[in-house]
Structure 1
Amino acid sequence: MTTLVRLAQQPEADALLGRSPLAALVGMLLDQQVPMERAFTGPYTIAQRLGENDLDARRIASMDPEEFAALFSAKPAVHRFPGSMAKRVQELCRYLVAHHDGDAGAIWRDAGSGAELFRRLHALPGFGRQKAQIFLALLGKRFDVTPEGWREAAGPYGEEGSHRSVADVTGPESLAMVREFKQRAKKAAKESASAREK
């Protein structure tokens, strides 16, 4: 089943995210210290460089780490930190092979509750609390993965009508609103920190 998403803001990359659970997970993993669109274009770039139409957890997990890092580093680099992020993607794929038979979608396909889904996501390598909550909200809001209590498990990211994260992006306009929210949050955090120092 293909879901229409506009996270990469590039049709081919977004099409891959919409049909491939692994691509969506990898995009979320890459979504740090680079613009969101670049992070979510990453899975498509990786697939292209592997000569594939999709990502395969088993293939990535079994690749030579240096070879995979070189694929990440080729210009234009997949991420600002190609070496460390290539390692993280391989760790994620190895975990999926070991725990979910290489099937990323198995993480949420039979989750009985939002709390259970959060636990599964939080157990993934590279998925801290916040990343797990944001991805859970993304699954609920864009992929119609809505086990009971999913909004609560996603915390503030699950709120309806919010513009806090990638889970709320449906196109350029909402992306701008999410960026604006993040800038305001950053500014407030800075002001709060400097007030504490006084």
Structure 2
Amino acid sequence: MKQYMLTLVLSCISFYTLNAQFSEHHAIYFSGEINLGNYVGIDYNLNYVYKETYAFKLGYTGNIRTPKSQPKDYGSGLQGLFSFGFENPYDQIENIQIGVGKIYKLNTNGTIRLNLSAGLGYTIIREPENWQRINDAYLSENYTWNYRKHNTVSLVINPKIEFPVSRFYGLTVSPMLLINKDSTYFGIGLGQMLGLLRPKRQR
């Protein structure tokens, strides 16, 4: 029994020591933003920062907008009303991205920092096409249509101002530019960070 207790105590001490050492040089956190620009949507990222200097992220962005090809007299009818617009046609961009960055502290205690990040993304684009008018539609959509889907590779430029107001919670402001041969997204994201954001300060 004593041997078991000794092993348990030593294991807890070792875990605490390793965790403290890990948090001295590493940060791992989740960030999520609402995007506003020529599309609207969401941006989620898993972030890793080494020595408050080098950053790596794996993320997903999903954005929609009113279709550029949509006829001016398109109406969703009662279907659109009861579905709150979720079943309406949209131009859609989904992007899975990998990015690297450099961290610059904008104040001495590290509660405001600039994360200059850029990377590549695998992008899925869906756009409605083949609009056909339905002349006798009164309560439902007055057009039929179908999606055209294609994939491409994008350059993602995403500098981010981060406000880790505590070690475990913070806020973000993040302009984003997503460029590919078929479309371009530009906008700004406002969001939050959760996780291990910065090391514990030594007194």
Scaled by the length of structure 1, what TM-score is found?
Answer: 0.24
Q: Decide which structure has the larger Cα Rg and report it.
A: 2
- Structure number with the higher helix fraction is 1
- Structure number with the higher strand fraction is 2
